[in-house]
Structure 1
Amino acid sequence: MQKWYHIIPKNTGLSIYVWIIFCLLPFLFIFRSSSMYEVAFGILMTLIFFLSYRLSFVSTSGWVYLWVSVEMAISLVMTILFGYIYFALFLAFYIGNIRHFGGFLSLYIVHLTTTLVAITITFITEVDSLFPQLPFIIISIIGVILLPFTVRYRNQQQKLEGELENANERISQLMVLEERERIARDLHDTLGQKLSMIGLKGELAGKLVPKDPARAVNEIHDIQQTARTALKEVREMVSNMRGTSLKDELIRVQQIVEAAEMSFTQEGNPVLENTPLLVENVLSMCLKEAATNVVKHSNASHCQVSIVQQTNEILVTIADDGKGMPESIEPFKGHGLQGIRERLEFVNGSLDIQSMDGTKLTLHVPNVIQNVKKEDYS
């Protein structure tokens, strides 16, 4: 689908309707002429200008400078003949999109010079017709001076933001890879030696059964003890693995929400008692995803998080006073809601959604009390 972007500039601080007026104004200036030849010539120049302007966005290499030269010539002619200088703003915007600094600076100087020369000549020859436009002409000159640098800076900022986002995503991937490698090293260090010992003792016990049954029984006991020790070390390693607690995630959520200039309130105790680490990690990830949705999509001014640990389940509610969910989005199909539901289902939980006077997500997770009694491996 063809976008207006290629004719009407975006992100310049001016409304699209202002640019539409700039597109229509040439005809007003043209039709003031008394000669039909001048009217036809002006319409032809206007159409050629917009055609060249469109081609300058889709062309590459040296063709770009050819079309820009045509546009500058037309802008100069339209200014001198009809007193219409506003094509210069279109050119100023396009010049700001040129990436090569040498080409940008050259075209900027040429465009500024030709625009000032054309306005000066027109003022000398037709001062009466241009004097009523003096405020708009001054604004146009300021735009020709500042707009290219503004557009260039904004494009560079967007490029850097995109590179930063890619870098953060890459860092996240590397962190996951590093964590996997760390877990693999820990498992290897914990289990490698003991599994090798179990294998060797198993072979030795197999050989000793027909020759020395009593010694074979001792070896089998050693195998059992080694297996228990390995199991105990693996459980301790898993339990000591760092996970995101609900309390820590809630602090980060508050920072994100307040950074988006929303107010934040929290109810309930975020410290869950005797809750398995896996369940708390799932709730933390779901809370993070829900808060991200509030910041990105809700247009809300307030966000509230409520945590209730009941006898049979844990309830985490995220509510905002924003615009609610669009009717075009099916339940659980938009803004990461499917991912939240899948995470909750992994721990036998569920997700409820209400979209009235804002959006309210309720996370339900069965309150499975973790067994805190230690096993005796001695």
Structure 2
Amino acid sequence: MLKWRSNLYKTTGLNPFIWAILFILPFYYIFRTSSKAHTAVGIALIILFFVSYVLVFVTKGWKVYVWSGVQIAISIAMTVLFGFVYFSLLLTFVIGNITSKKGFITLYVIHLTVTIATIDYAIVVKNPMVISQLPFVFICLIMVILLPISNYNRNKNERLQGQLNDANKRISELVKLEERQRIARDLHDTLGQKLSLIGLKSDLAIKLMPKTPSQSLIEMKEVRQTARTAMKEVREIVKQMRGAKLKEEMARIEQMLKTAQIELIVEGDLDPKNLSLMNENVLCMCLKEAVTNLVKHSGASVCTISIRPDRLALIAIVEDNGIGLTQNAVYSHGSGLKGMKERLEFVNGSLELGEGPGTSLVMKVPNTHPREKA
């Protein structure tokens, strides 16, 4: 019960109380007739319409089209018999919820054609209810034309956003797995050889101890030196364990924007020479956050990321041609800009809003001494 109610609200955006009003409204048209049989038919049609409306959202496959066809037939009957044309408006939410492009186009064309023909018929026969509310009928017809397309595109964008989020999570997990495997290989190659050598020399020292203690002492000193060398190499591996790299993060950003059908333009060098590992990791996290918000809220078609080295800092600028922060309250207040600013300030960096027709974020992270080559 709760499932279909939540689906109904999600796909139409209408509160259940509004649906209660829409359910009562048709009875006004029915009770104006003097025939009890006529009234009974109208009540049966209304109940069948709303039952089939619920079934559309709880069934799948070909049954969706069957119940949609039932609703179209009831909409025709209600218009012809009672002059009630507004069931055609409720059908726009059903049609806009169709995921198949062919199915959507087919139902859209059938519904639009039938609605126009039914309204024309009601006008020709001079149905008093239709004639008296002709301006509202034309408004209803315009909404029948526009609403299914709008709802279809909205639902499609929500599905794409869900797929994008799943893809990002998958990419993140693969990156972590790859890094774990790299660390495991490095530790195995480094420690495996050294520990084997320590084991062999220890066995040799034990054998030499009774006969030649001096040679045994030499072997034990070599064991100690090997252990120290192994410890030093492990420290180097830990030291070189890298966080996010700018070039790799940009590849993930490119994949994200490609999925969202946003063009990416990259300017500058993606291999900074004077940036510490921590500062590069912080910059990558902020770039990821900025691009994620761009995809969700900006409505942009082009994103430009510029990397500009400075004497004291590395400057990264993320620009888009979207609606901008000033017009998009959700983006400006709920985008995580505060978190990005706090991350950058932690490494003595900064975040500023640039100028432009869309959104422009200017991030600065300080340079350090050149990195030592591993």
Query: Which TM-score band (shorter chain)?
Result: 0.5 to 0.7
RMSD of aligned residue pairs (Cα, Å): 3.7
Aligned to 2:183: 183
Aligned to 1:163: 163
Aligned to 1:67: 67
Matched-pair contact (CA < 8 Å) for 1:7–1:53: no
Secondary structure of the corresponding residue to residue 172 of structure 1 = helix
**Structure 1 residue 9 displacement after superposition:** 5.3
**Structure 1 residue 200 displacement after superposition:** 1.3
**Structure 1 residue 201 displacement after superposition:** 0.9
The structure-2 alpha-carbon separation of the partners of 1:62 and 1:8, relative to structure 1 and needing over 3 Å to count, comes to: closer
**Structure 1 residue 38 displacement after superposition:** 2.3
**Structure 1 residue 160 displacement after superposition:** 1.5
For structure 2, the 5+ residue unaligned runs are 245-276, 298-329, 347-374
Cα distance in 1, alignment partners of residues 80 and 7 from structure 2: 23
**Structure 1 residue 301 displacement after superposition:** 10
Aligned to 1:134: 134
Cα distance in 2, alignment partners of residues 14 and 135 from structure 1: 24
Amino acid corresponding to residue 238 of structure 1 in structure 2: V
Aligned length: 279
Aligned to 1:124: 124
Aligned to 1:57: 57
Secondary structure of the corresponding residue to residue 237 of structure 1 = helix
Cα distance in 1, alignment partners of residues 285 and 207 from structure 2: 61
Secondary structure of the corresponding residue to residue 180 of structure 1 = helix
**CA offsets 1:120-160 (integer angstroms, 9 cap, x no match):** 11112236533442332222112222222222222222222
Q: Could you state the TM-score of these two structures normalised by the residue count of structure 2? A: 0.63
Aligned to 1:196: 196
**Structure 1 residue 116 displacement after superposition:** 0.6
Cα distance in 1, alignment partners of residues 125 and 282 from structure 2: 70
Q: Could you state the TM-score of these two structures normalised by the residue count of structure 1? A: 0.63
The structure-2 alpha-carbon separation of the partners of 1:159 and 1:143, relative to structure 1 and needing over 3 Å to count, comes to: same
Cα distance in 2, alignment partners of residues 62 and 20 from structure 1: 28
Matched-pair contact (CA < 8 Å) for 1:92–1:147: yes
The structure-2 alpha-carbon separation of the partners of 1:165 and 1:306, relative to structure 1 and needing over 3 Å to count, comes to: closer
The structure-2 alpha-carbon separation of the partners of 1:143 and 1:306, relative to structure 1 and needing over 3 Å to count, comes to: closer
1:30-45 equivalences in 2 (<5 Å): 30-45=30-45
Amino acid corresponding to residue 177 of structure 1 in structure 2: L
Matched-pair contact (CA < 8 Å) for 1:108–1:148: yes
Matched-pair contact (CA < 8 Å) for 2:202–2:219: yes
1:280-295 equivalences in 2 (<5 Å): none
The structure-2 alpha-carbon separation of the partners of 1:7 and 1:29, relative to structure 1 and needing over 3 Å to count, comes to: farther
The structure-2 alpha-carbon separation of the partners of 1:185 and 1:299, relative to structure 1 and needing over 3 Å to count, comes to: closer
